[in-house]
Chains A and B, each alone.
Chain A
Amino acid sequence: MIPLSWYLILSAALFSIGLFGVMARRNAIAILLGIELMFNAVNINLVAFWRYLDPTIMNGQVFAIIVFAVAAAEVAVGLALVISVYRNRKTVVVDDLDLLKW
Chain B
Amino acid sequence: MSPELILFLVLSLVAIAAAIGMLISPNPVYSALFLVINFSTVAVFYLILGAPFIAMAQITIYAGAIMVLFLFVIMLLGAEKLAPGKVLPYQKPLAIGLAIVLMVESVYAVLARNPSDAEIIVPTEAANSIDAMRDLGIMLFSDYLLPFEVTSILLLVAMIGAIVLTKRAKGEQE
- Count of chain B residues with Cβ under 8 Å from any Cβ of A? 89
B12 engages A55 (CB within 8 Å): no
30 pairs from A and B in contact (CB 8 Å cutoff): A1-B4, A1-B121, A4-B118, A5-B110, A5-B111, A6-B8, A9-B107, A18-B19, A20-B98, A24-B92, A26-B86, A29-B70, A33-B22, A44-B45, A47-B45, A47-B49, A51-B122, A51-B127, A52-B122, A55-B126, A58-B132, A58-B135, A65-B136, A65-B140, A66-B144, A68-B61, A68-B62, A75-B66, A80-B162, A86-B77
Main secondary structure of the interface of B (DSSP, over half): helix
Closest to B32 in A: A33
A55 contact from B48, B119, B127, B148, Cβ within 8 A: B127
How many A-B contacts at CB < 8 Å in the complex? Answer: 248
Shortest C-beta distance, B43 to chain A (Å), equals 10
B-contact 0/1 string along A44-87, CB 8 Å cutoff: 10011011100110110110111011111111110111111011
State which of B69, B94, B117 has its C-beta within 8 Å of the C-beta of A76: B69
- Inter-chain contact A33/B70, CB cutoff 8 Å: yes
Contact check, B106 vs A83: say whether CB atoms are below 8 A apart.
no
Are B16 and A14 in contact, CB atoms less than 8 angstroms apart?
A: yes
**Which of B54, B85, B161 sits near A65, CB closer than 8 Å?**
B54
Chain A contact residue count (CB 8 A cutoff): 76
B110 touches A9 (CB 8 A): yes
Pairs A-B, 3 closest by C-beta atoms: A93-B85, A73-B158, A26-B85
- A27 and B84 within 8 A (CB): yes
Q: What separation, in Å, do the CA atoms of A65 and B152 have in the docked complex?
A: 12
Contact B4–A52 (Cβ < 8 Å): no
Chain B 1-34, CB within 8 Å of chain A: the 1/0 string? 0001100100010011001101100001001100
- Assembly CA distance A27 to B82 (angstroms): 7
Decide yes or no: A91 and B81 within 8 Å by CB, A5-B111, A20-B96 being known contacts. Answer: yes
**A4 CB contacts on chain B under 8 angstroms:** 117-120
When A16-B100, A26-B84, A76-B69 are in contact, do A33 and B31 touch as well, CB less than 8 Å?
yes
Binding site for B on A (CB under 8 A): 1-10, 12-21, 23-27, 29-30, 32-34, 36-37, 40, 43-44, 47-48, 50-52, 55-56, 58-59, 61-62, 64-66, 68-77, 79-84, 86-87, 90-95, 98, 100-101
The distance from the CB of A102 to the nearest CB of chain B, in whole angstroms, is 11
> In the bound complex, what is the Cα–Cα distance between A87 and B78 (angstroms)?
12
